[in-house]
Every structure is written in C-alpha cells, then in structure tokens.
Amino acid sequence: MFTKEELLVIEDALKIADAEYIKLIDENKNNKNRMVAFNRKQKKLWLVQNKLKKLKEEQN
C-alpha cells in the first residue's frame, strides 16, 4: 500500500499537525468552544496516528 519512506513522511506530517493542535488549544484556553473543537480534531488525529502505527507494524 505505502512504502516505508511514505509512511515516515506521513508520520512526520501528523506530528506537525499534533503540535499545531496543542498550540491552538493552549492559545484558546479562554474560549471553551474553540478549545473543545480543537481537542476533538486532535483526538481524530490520534486515531489516524494509531492506525498508521498499526500499518507500520504490519509492514515489518
């Protein structure tokens, strides 16, 4: 499906997105609605990261 190098690139991109969501959540601590929205998006990102981890394990 994906090569090992492609999976590593995807993993790096997801790490960057995760860091961005953490930053946005911290910036919006006073705005609960936005903070919750970013938190939900981050949880979806974590699900994708877990799936990617399984794909990498299956590939080995």
User: pLDDT tens digit string along 19-51?
Assistant: 999 999 999 999 999 999 999 999 999 999 999
Tell me the pLDDT tens digit for each residue of 2-25: 899 999 999 999 999 999 999 999
pTM for the whole thing?
0.85
Structure-token pair, residue 5: 């190098």
The dihedral sign for the CA sequence 53, 51, 10, 59: positive
Task: With cut-offs at 50, 70 and 90, classify the pLDDT of residue 1.
Answer: confident
Tokens 């949880």 found at: 43
Structure-token pair, residue 42: 């981050």
Residue type, 58: E
